[in-house]
Amino acid sequence: MPPTLILIRHAQALHNATSDWSIHDPPLTDLGRQQSAELHESLKASDLANKTDLIVVSPMRRTLETMTIGLDWLIKKGVPVHPDANWHENADKPCDTGNTMDIIGKEYPQYDFSGVDPLYPDKTSNLETNPYAFTQKAIVARGQTCLKDLYNRPEKVIAVVSHSGFLRTAVCNRMFFNADWRVFEYDEEEMEKQGRYVLKEWEETEKKGGGMGRSDVGVFGIVDGDFPPVKEEEEEAKKEGRVGELGEASKEVPEKESA
């Protein structure tokens, strides 16, 4: 039986607060660390979260810091941490591009980064074959790789700390406020119909707007402006004004403030 997934967005990072997308792999803000502490309390009160037997994390500063604070009681219990580059953010701006593992490994020596794909964080070379390329085709395929990798895992409950743009466009079509979380099962019926991996959200987090009730309710798929247009559509898209600032940096900061 496939695992239940707890999908978590990182807390507020410096680029979220400043709208400065030029900051390379930004850390959390003070508010982000506070949100991570609130995430800790919210998850620790969840019966499901206490059954987590694997943590998967994007190897970026904001996700690692969120996990270290927000899931620390699980880590202290010995729940293994698996950094996976497939779960990192979409865009190729500096704020959405990670560091190499020699740098991150020095900042977070308590985690094992030896299994992270050495191609990461390159998003620009071999765009036709690079799984981290900032194209709709590559990112949707990367989302399917993530879901395939977890589908056959032996663990029953897996927590994943990732990014709102990637989660929305490639994994579950939901919005995530900073440090909020949602619970999903694999939807076997839809998977058979569609021939791809599909998730179904638990009613509890879907109706509430996330485990902390801070996220927008509803289904949110890919929209114009999420990805660079393919070459044959580029000129038309420019004429229609559909080529804007892309990815989490422009789309994934909800209007409402967290409590």
Q: Which active-site residues does the annotation give?
A: 10, 163
| Paired sense of beta strands 199-201 and 181-186, if any | antiparallel
d(CA 130, CA 133): 5
What phi-psi label fits residue 35: left (phi over 0), alpha (psi between -120 and 50 degrees) or beta?
Answer: alpha
Q: Residue holding tokens 């996220």?
A: 215
30-44 vs 61-70: helix crossing angle, rounded to 10? 40
d(CA 54, CA 73): 13
User: 186-208 burial, b for 16+ CB within 10 Å, e for fewer?
Assistant: beeeebeeeeebbbbbbeebbeb
* φ and ψ of 50, to 5 deg: -70, -10
